[in-house]
Chains A and B, each alone.
Chain A
Amino acid sequence: MREIYRYRDLILALVARELKVRYRRSTIGFLWTMLQPLLMMGVYQLVFSHLFRFPIADYAIYALAGILFWNFFSQSIVSSMNSLRGNAQLLQKLPVPKAVFPLATVLSGVLNLLFALVPMLLILLFTRHTLHLSLLFLPVAILLAALFTLGAGLLLSPLAVFFHDVVELIGVLLTLLMYLTPLFYRMQDLPEKVRWVVRFNPVRSILEVFRDPIYYAKVPPLSHLAVCLTIALVALAVGAYAFKRSSDRIPFYV
């Protein structure tokens, strides 16, 4: 822990580099993060009001809130799995605390999510002509999501070093998980028989904390928050423990 704090400037530099690399090749730079949700919103509006009809009011907002969350989660997982392998050379030559790499990855994911929230808020303002106070709760939701994602990233990134094909496997599992997360549907739209699967999906719980203020304009109930905080902390504890245990072996395998 203290090691990581000592390297805080490095973490910030890695985050800055990750953002820079991501937007270097495009001409309008990081405006893309902002523009993309707007365009996606247009696509959803088009597809779901004309092609598929769901009985969900303001469907595009519902879907977009879910997608923003999902993109943060899945992209952070995939990038943190690549973060150790991408720095193989470094890990074999310098005594850097290895956790800085997945940590920087998740942090830059959080920043991207924040950028993407700007157009989301604009869309809310335009469609509903008001911004509800419950949106002030979003930082807490994002913090929960970040802790949970960091836990998953810490667990999976060493695994990706030891077994290269874990990256492919996780790619498939993430797709499965995406369908088990109510991004495009609501829980009550599911057949009774399969609803429990989605209910026990921890990603679903965290997603709701994030989507409640945006779509339902409400702060999630305290009981649900307690559950999510537990999920996030357990994920983080498991991830940190697994990472710490395997950390010494990482330079031998990257």
Chain B
Amino acid sequence: MSPPDAATEPPLVQLSGVSLCYRLAKQRIPSLKEYAIHWMKGALSYEKLWALRDVDFTARRGEVVGIVGRNGAGKSTLLKVISQVLKPTGGKIEIRGRIAPILELGTGFDHELTGMENIYLNALLLGRSRKEIDARLAQIVDFSGLGDFVRAPIRNFSTGMLARLGFSIATAWLPDILILDEVLAVGDASFTKKCTDRMREFHDAGTTVLLVSHNAQAIRDSCTRCVWLDAGRVRIDGSPPEVLDHYAHDRGTEPVERQPG
């Protein structure tokens, strides 16, 4: 379970009044010439798409927070902001501790390289040093269950195999904060179990987990808290059964699912 000082320790993730705006050019302006023309006309207008509006969010050590919401509600954007991939347009964000962001498995894989070479490349991209990787290499290969395949170029790997490799690399080190964006949906049953086990292991060691999922049962089972994002705002932040009930109810009253924005 979480260490006793979890309540007094400052939260690992703290967002106050965070907003993020994607500026979509009203007219597509792909060229300098058009940019110059529009600029001179003073017609450089953007459609503002607020993916996050005034979001307050904290996560303490050892919490497992599930994030739910419709497509385009800002779930992935929120995870990207917390992962420090996207800088918010407004608001304050404080992160204490090391993050393992898994926004997509196998980001940065080079399909011409072998599995082994990709382990290095990927872990280096995650900010590890060569020495650290050397020390964990055997463990990563072992966890992926790919055996001798790691010596083959990954261009022939199946999606499931890539996911196994990606997850093994990203979770080879115990992070303070683990961020998962619906990545556990791929892979076969045995690997999904391995992943869930590892998450539990992290949780027991005090890692804070933030995950986006459309699987209500998974959230009910593994989360200690649940946040419902709606159109970029936090609608409810509470216990998983409570939030999921409201969320399900809301969906029931609005039969037509909006398409992703």
Identify the A interface with B (CB < 8 A): 6-7, 9-10, 13, 17, 21, 24, 87, 89-96, 163-166, 169, 248, 251-252
Report if B85 contacts A (CB, 8 A). yes
**Nearest-Cβ distance from residue A251 to partner chain B, whole angstroms:** 6
Q: Jot down 26 A-B pairs with beta carbons below 8 A, ordered by A.
A: A6-B127, A9-B124, A9-B130, A17-B110, A17-B113, A24-B112, A87-B108, A89-B107, A89-B108, A90-B108, A90-B125, A92-B80, A93-B104, A93-B108, A94-B83, A94-B101, A94-B107, A94-B125, A95-B85, A163-B35, A164-B31, A165-B31, A165-B32, A169-B32, A252-B22, A252-B23
State the total of A-B contacts with C-beta under 8 angstroms. 68
Partner of B32, one of A89, A94, A166, A251: A166
Q: Are B103 and A93 interface neighbours, CB within 8 A?
A: yes
Query: Is B159's beta carbon under 8 Å from chain A?
Result: no
Asked whether, in the complex, the Cβ of A251 is within 8 Å of the Cβ of B85, the reply is yes
Residues of A contacting B31 with CB < 8 Å? 163-165
Q: What 7 new A-B contacts, CB under 8 Å, besides A7-B124, A93-B101, A164-B31?
A: A92-B80, A93-B80, A94-B108, A163-B32, A165-B30, A165-B31, A251-B86
State A60–B23 Cα separation when bound (angstroms).
53
Contact yes or no, A90 B107, CB < 8 A = yes
> Is the CB of B129 closer than 8 A to any CB of chain A?
yes
Distance in angstroms from B135 CB to nearest chain A CB is 13
A17 touches B121 (CB 8 A): yes
Min C-beta distance of B13 to chain A, whole Å: 14
Q: Is the CB of B87 within 8 A of A248?
A: yes
Chain B residues with CB under 8 A of A163: 30-32, 35
Residue B157 is within 8 A (CB to CB) of chain A in the complex:
no
Judged by a CB distance under 8 angstroms, whether B120 is at the interface is yes
* Contact of B215 with A by CB under 8 A: no
Interface string of B73-101 (1 = CB under 8 A from A): 00000001001111100000000000101
The interface residues of chain B lying within 8 Å CB-to-CB of A96 are 125, 127
Residue of A nearest to B129 (CB): A9
CB A101 to nearest CB in B, in angstroms, measures 11
Query: B103 to A13, Cβ gap below 8 A?
Result: no
A163–B32 alpha-carbon span in the complex (Å): 6
Report B-chain residues with C-beta under 8 Å of the C-beta of A6. 127
**A95, B83: Cβ atoms under 8 Å?**
yes
- Smallest CB–CB gap between A17 and chain B, Å? 7
Q: Which residues of A contact B113 (CB under 8 A)?
A: 17
Asked if B124 and A94 make an inter-chain contact with CB atoms under 8 angstroms apart, the answer reads: no
CB distance from B26 to the nearest CB of A (A): 16
Evaluate contact between A94 and B23: CB separation under 8 angstroms.
no
A21-B112 contact, Cβ under 8 Å, with A94-B85, A95-B101: yes
Q: Which B residues between 122 and 156 are near A, CB-CB below 8 angstroms?
A: 124-130
- Min CB distance B204 to A, Å, is 26
**A164 close to B124 (CB less than 8 A):** no
Q: With A94-B107, A165-B32 as known contacts, state yes or no: A10 contacts B112, CB within 8 Å.
A: no
Asked whether A164 lies within 8 Å of B30 as measured between CB atoms, the reply is yes
A17 contacts which chain B residues (CB < 8 A)?
A: 110, 113, 121
Tell me, in angstroms, the Cα distance from A93 to B112 when the chains sit together.
20
Query: Beta-carbon contacts of B9-42 to A below 8 Å, as 1s and 0s?
Result: 0000000000000110000001111010000000
B107 contacts A93, C-beta separation under 8 Å: yes
